[in-house]
Structure 1
Amino acid sequence: MTQLSLATVLAESARKYPDKIAVIDSVTTERITYRELWQQTLAYASALQAKGIGPGDVVAIQIPNLADFPRVYYATLAVGATIVPMHLLLTPEENAYVLTDSGAKLLVAHSSQLENAVAASKIAEVDVVSVGPAVPGIERLEEAVTTPLRTYVSREAEDVAVIFYTSGTTGKPKGALLTHLNLVMNTIVNVFDIHDLHEDDVTMGCLPLFHTFGQTVGMNGTFRMGGTLVLLARFTGEAAIQLMVKENVTIFHGVPTMYIGLLEAAGKAEKLPELRLCVSGGASLPVAVLEKFNETFHAEIFEGYGLSETSPTATTNQPAFGTKPGTVGHPIWGVEVEIARPEIDERIELLPDGELGEIVIRGHNVFAGYLNNPSATQEAVVDGWFRTGDLGTKDENGFIAIVDRKKDLVIRGGFNVYPREVEEALARHPAVQQVAVIGVPDATHGEEICAVVVADPGSISADELIEWSREKLGKHKYPRKIRFAESLPLGPSFKVLKRELRKTYGSDAQ
């Protein structure tokens, strides 16, 4: 069997760029070289071994965007164990489910997360150790350090490196099994085959590292190319701009809500960062936001697309193929992305260019299945293709466009309405800061279109916005209901939680 470990990403850069700064931690103000980061990692790895952790064991990690995240992450890989990154916004009960389902043997939590972590570990009966400032009564991982490992334990390419728990819209979250090969390949392709990246690039690490986008594209990608990762533990537009200016950040990875936050903060900033490359993923980026960002920051956003189950990157706008706003570009190297007939479950039937269907993916990035859930794996992977649950099209030039999630489709009076299209239109109104569109039950039409809008108070009324949208959208598409909110509910990866909006506004009969 072929041996391969994701730990190689850091180990090799420590060998190649020992004196370069690998991580800047904006909370602790640490500036850590690659040599230091790898030595700290091998010390933590010895502590994990002393705690009885070895190849095939599962270690859960509950750490914010601090230097301790990569230290513990690569230490876990270095002993040959599998990582379960814990979402920081879940309840102890939700986290206990993840600990139990994954079979975690140990939970390593930062001291700032201990209240939640200890509660979850008690329910799941899992040992917990801390990193960061000492907390009375809780063992610190540092205390178990013996002689640092000489090198990392080798693994087989198809062994599981990371289990990502996907925030299920229905039922319990599912553990997506990502192999060393999945994650090493995705990291390499992101760094060397898509954009022109340099070892002197400085990357903004404000995407949560527990999430696949921040972990693979941000952290692993930066370390693979020998760049510097600047960590921000809590994102706000103001804090991000200040830190990017201070540390001369050249690359920004974010989700649409972050780009909106940067735009809102830009007007108050004394100076804006000189960004060379911006990448957006995680959710659809309104074209109006992309255009305004390019104009304000003089930096082009390349929108991409991926899922936890695809390591994550599947497609992205990339210079080699040209870019097209409103699309997620072309498949990455070694990956095929096609459109399949959505109503057929048991086999994959590909559709011609231009037709709307379900986006399906195959290649080195597709996961090894869902943990303890063969039926879900069987539904998701058909004829070697991963069914994404997203509806989209592929044009004659190969650009993939996402129309919407299959489950977010609104059927009003027998007509299909795609919320993304309505959101794109409303996002162009100058008073609208953020918008999410959902279907709500309606006695006459089955479903009615409801737009939940964040806007400046008093800047526009619901009737004015409805009237404005009538001119921009077809008769069956424009929203008949506008609800104003102070903010939209966001998940741990900063995606808008439409299921929460449906709970709040679904029975709203006004």
Structure 2
Amino acid sequence: MGLDLFATLRDHATQRGDEAAVRVIGPLADEHPDLTWAQLDRQVGAVAAQLGDQLPQDAVVMVLGHNRPSRVPVFLGVLHSGRTVFPVDASLTAIEFQQLVDRADVDAIIADDVVLPRLESVGVPVIRTDDLLQHDTEPTPRPTDRSNDAWLLLQSSGTTGGPKIVKRSGPSLDAVAHNVAEAVGLRRDDRVVAAVPLSHSYGIENGMLAPIVAGACALHHVVPADQPGRGFDPTLAVTSGATVLPGVPAMFEMIDRMGAGRGKLRLAYSAGATLPPALANRLEERDGLRLGQLYGSTEIGSVTFDREPHHVGKPMTGVDIRILAPEQPDPSLPLPDGQEGHVAVRGPSMFSRYLGPDELTADSLTDGYFLTGDLGRLDADGALQITGRLKLLIDVGGVKVNPIEVEQVLVSHPQVAECVVVPDPVSPTINRVKAVLTAANGEVDQHVLRSFLRERLAAHKVPRTFEVRAALPKSPTGKVLRRKVQVPA
């Protein structure tokens, strides 16, 4: 079975082929002409044809690069070829790339030039993005049969050990693309900022798939080649003529600080972390920019939306949300409206399974409902409010950091006896990563530790500060008490 998305893309290419599907914004906009619907459809077909000739039908293809127009035809081309696409954060280290290649049994990598130096010893074929897109052929017919049900692999943040790898099916992608376009109310004349990385489910669904379903133009901020670590400038959403901005709280905080106004934005919404009410109120009162909220995760996709900032909205089409008792979650015994509990979700955009042992998937599901790890409540109208987290993830500017992953690397250094990684808030929307540790031999060189971590972890995971203590607070059974660690010694 093929994706309905490709039929939609073909319709756009046939009916309005000269209109822009993807546009570059920012200082380098003049160097990048619009990618039209006809060009996008043709490039998707060209990528699919080449991969069909080069790779087995059940191949897993890792895609590496920052947000730019080429990411769209490459991502879709892998899917169109019948292979599994695995988009990965381009800021990871060589060691992290190798670990993911091994875990996901990757057959080939498509990468932008900026990533190539970190792939020299990865052990699988590497295809340059630009080389792949140099070939131009007529689009191939949609694949109607697949040898596996894993259309998309995504890396989740995880809560224990290393991050999990999530399998998503084709129907789940069609469902979430239509759900987001419908819930948000995207239109053909919209210009949607693709600011969230296209290695994240939020970015893929809201910055690529939903705009294609609606026929809206996606806007990409391309950074100079010599500044690969430079992030998205949120003020471009105001100055570029964008009409829709899916973002994270840190982006909206920057827009607020700079007093950038609203430009032509008719809709902006936040996800990925708690949106401070004071920030939402300021932007609405001063600029007339009302921030909506969207809720979802890697495993379930985008599942709720509302134009109001005070809750994360009502379930999208086909989505069922129940609030369960945290100590004994049972979907047949949901808690009454207004009562806080564990948020459980079932819907058409849900993942198929985790990569790995069956128990990994079974532990996260109960009677077909995914246990999100979030605390929340439903009001009388069925709108969901998130009140807290059962999980340990640290939000760093919209990117989730798994503290246990960082701790496992840090404690492997001979200077460290024990450690706990915690959030270090610097504003209502921005956290930094902090490591609290005890020394193995009396001395700790922070410069040495930071260098050690940078070789093994992406930059956003490396603690900005280190605090050395004589001992860490523990329970009678010897378990480190994380909440007490966050209290100054």
Q: Deviations over 1:11-70 (max 9, x none)?
A: 3322332121101123442211100111122222222223x2253321110011111100
- Match of residue 309 from structure 1: 299
1:360 paired with 2:344, answer yes
- Match of residue 298 from structure 1: 288
Q: Is 74-83 or 290-299 further displaced after alignment?
A: 290-299
- Match of residue 33 from structure 2: 30
Matches within 5 A, 1:191-210: 191-192=181-182, 194-210=183-199
Q: Output the CA distance in 2 between the equivalents of 1:378 and 1:262.
A: 42
Q: TM-score, normalised by structure 1?
A: 0.73
The partner residue of 1:128 within 117, 126, 129 is 126
Matches within 5 A, 1:465-504: none
- Match of residue 141 from structure 1: 132
- Residue correspondences, number: 411
Deviation at 1:250, TM superposition (A): 0.5
- Match of residue 283 from structure 1: 273
Q: Output the CA distance in 1 between the equivalents of 2:126 and 2:332.
A: 44
Q: Output the CA distance in 1 between the equivalents of 2:147 and 2:333.
A: 31
Q: Output the CA distance in 1 between the equivalents of 2:299 and 2:151.
A: 13
Q: Match for 1:251: what amino acid?
A: V
- Match of residue 311 from structure 2: 327
Deviation at 1:346, TM superposition (A): 7.6
Q: Output the CA distance in 2 between the equivalents of 1:340 and 1:158.
A: 33
Helix, strand or coil: the match of 2:363? helix
Distance verdict in 2 for CA 1:352–1:163, change over 3 Å: same
Distance verdict in 2 for CA 1:348–1:58, change over 3 Å: farther
Contact conserved, 2:109 with 2:124, CA < 8 A, in 1? Answer: yes
Deviation at 1:190, TM superposition (A): 1.1
Distance verdict in 2 for CA 1:288–1:396, change over 3 Å: same
Matches within 5 A, 1:212-361: 212-233=201-222, 239-242=233-236, 244-246=238-240, 248-266=241-259, 269=260, 272-310=262-300, 312-318=301-307, 323=308, 325-344=309-328, 349-361=333-345
Contact conserved, 1:179 with 1:368, CA < 8 A, in 2? Answer: yes
Distance verdict in 2 for CA 1:327–1:508, change over 3 Å: closer
Q: Output the CA distance in 1 between the equivalents of 2:164 and 2:272.
A: 18
Contact conserved, 2:331 with 2:367, CA < 8 A, in 1? Answer: yes
The partner residue of 2:365 within 378, 381, 389 is 381
Q: Output the CA distance in 2 between the equivalents of 1:153 and 1:237.
A: 36
Q: Match for 2:337: what amino acid?
A: D
- Match of residue 466 from structure 1: none
User: Identical aligned pairs, as a percentage?
Assistant: 26
Q: Output the CA distance in 2 between the equivalents of 1:148 and 1:58.
A: 24
Q: Match for 1:126: what amino acid?
A: V
Q: Deviations over 1:220-246 (max 9, x none)?
A: 111111111110145989944246423
CA RMSD of aligned residues (A): 3.2
Q: Output the CA distance in 2 between the equivalents of 1:504 and 1:6.
A: 50
Distance verdict in 2 for CA 1:226–1:29, change over 3 Å: same
Q: Match for 1:277: what amino acid?
A: L
Q: Is 226-235 or 84-93 further displaced after alignment?
A: 226-235
Q: Output the CA distance in 1 between the equivalents of 2:69 and 2:385.
A: 36
Helix, strand or coil: the match of 1:393? strand
Structure 2: 5+ residue stretches without partners: 224-228, 396-400, 404-419, 429-457, 469-484
Contact conserved, 2:296 with 2:303, CA < 8 A, in 1? Answer: yes
Deviation at 1:408, TM superposition (A): 4.7
Q: Match for 1:61: what amino acid?
A: V
Contact conserved, 1:6 with 1:77, CA < 8 A, in 2? Answer: no
- Match of residue 469 from structure 1: none
Q: Deviations over 1:160-185 (max 9, x none)?
A: 22111112233122111111101111
Distance verdict in 2 for CA 1:130–1:199, change over 3 Å: same
The partner residue of 2:380 within 396, 407, 411 is 396
Deviation at 1:349, TM superposition (A): 3.5
Structure 1: 5+ residue stretches without partners: 133-139, 410-418, 421-435, 439-446, 456-493
Q: Output the CA distance in 2 between the equivalents of 1:64 and 1:305.
A: 24
Q: Output the CA distance in 2 between the equivalents of 1:85 and 1:238.
A: 19
Q: TM-score, normalised by structure 2?
A: 0.76
Deviation at 1:186, TM superposition (A): 0.7
Q: Output the CA distance in 1 between the equivalents of 2:328 and 2:191.
A: 45
Helix, strand or coil: the match of 1:184? helix
Contact conserved, 1:46 with 1:146, CA < 8 A, in 2? Answer: no
Deviation at 1:292, TM superposition (A): 1.3
- Match of residue 71 from structure 1: 73
- Match of residue 398 from structure 2: none
Deviation at 1:339, TM superposition (A): 0.4
